[in-house]
Structure 1
Amino acid sequence: MGEWQRYVDDNLIGSGKVDRAAITRLDGEILAASEGYKLSAAEQSQLSKECRAVFSGGEGQVGGLVLAGTKFFTIGRDERSLFLRSDLKHAGAIVAQTNQCIIVAEYDFPLQVTEVVPVVESLADELINAAY
């Protein structure tokens, strides 16, 4: 898990713009996660299913995702990222897909989506350029 863990620790958490994060395979299997951040097997499966639906040109589920026990609602998306919000915890999440993995990054208020997107998509670009 070394290289993947460095991406989580240095690029995501180390940015100061992400509070919790994970990188999974496209099938949802966790490659690395920030300390204490756990996606259940059901959450991993749903994450993979949602990403396949959304990033293959489909609509995905309207309801959003549950990540580490917190329900997030989809507030937007683009060609490679989902933007999620949880009213319960005043938190948000960004899910970005590369060729071989899914990046999950959660952030808490007062951070805003516009501060977190560049961090997540920069890592996605780096992984895509490295054929991941």
Structure 2
Amino acid sequence: MSWQQYVDTYLIGSGKCTEGAILSAAGDGGVWAKSAGLQVTPEETGRLLRAFSDPSEAAASGIRVGGRKYMFLRSDGEAVYAKERDDGLVAMRTRTALVLALYSKGIVPGECATAVGRVADYLRQHGY
């Protein structure tokens, strides 16, 4: 299965995420796969990755993805959560990847987190 199929089937196809991506956790801006309309810059990826280990920057200035600013909610070292009104994002890091999903009004944030977690767990189990 290609990385794109994981985004299309397990993130977007779950009905619990409106957009998603699997990005490189190396901080090089690499995109393994993404939904069609989602644009994530290397700078946005870098800031999101830093929020896992030191959330102070994200707490002070928020998180941007696709040019849209989200209010940082929390990071537990394995996941980062942020929102903007009724929309939000969930990101989970593995050894080599960053699984990112956006959700919109009507989607329960915890259900989006579950979809992201399933992809992240699969990647971890397979050495990614």
Same fold (TM over 0.5): yes
Deviations 1:34-58 (A, max 9, x none): 011111233233233x24xx24xx3
Q: Do residues 76 (structure 1) and 74 (structure 2) align?
A: yes
User: What corresponds to 2:116 in structure 1?
Assistant: 120
Structure 1 residues 99 and 37, CA gap change in structure 2 (3 angstroms)? same
Kept in 2, the 8 Å contact 1:83–1:94? The answer is: yes
Report the CA distance between 1:11 and its aligned residue: 0.8
Report the CA distance between 1:60 and its aligned residue: 4.1
Distance 2:55 2:48 in 1: 14
Kept in 2, the 8 Å contact 1:19–1:107? The answer is: yes
Q: Number of paired residues?
A: 124
TM-score norm. by structure 1 comes to 0.85
Q: CA RMSD in A?
A: 1.6
Counterparts of 1:104-119 in structure 2 under 5 Å?
104-119=100-115
Unaligned runs of at least 5 residues, structure 2: none
Kept in 1, the 8 Å contact 2:11–2:116? The answer is: yes
- Greater Cα shift, 12-21 or 26-35: 26-35
Secondary structure of 2:90's aligned partner: strand
Deviations 1:52-93 (A, max 9, x none): xx24xx334213310001101111222300111012xx2110
What fraction of aligned residue pairs are identical, expressed as a percent?
A: 27
Counterparts of 1:10-25 in structure 2 under 5 Å?
10-25=9-24
Unaligned runs of at least 5 residues, structure 1: none
Distance 2:45 2:113 in 1: 21
TM-score norm. by structure 2 comes to 0.88
Superposed structure 1 runs of 4+ greater than 6 Å apart: none
Kept in 2, the 8 Å contact 1:29–1:44? The answer is: no
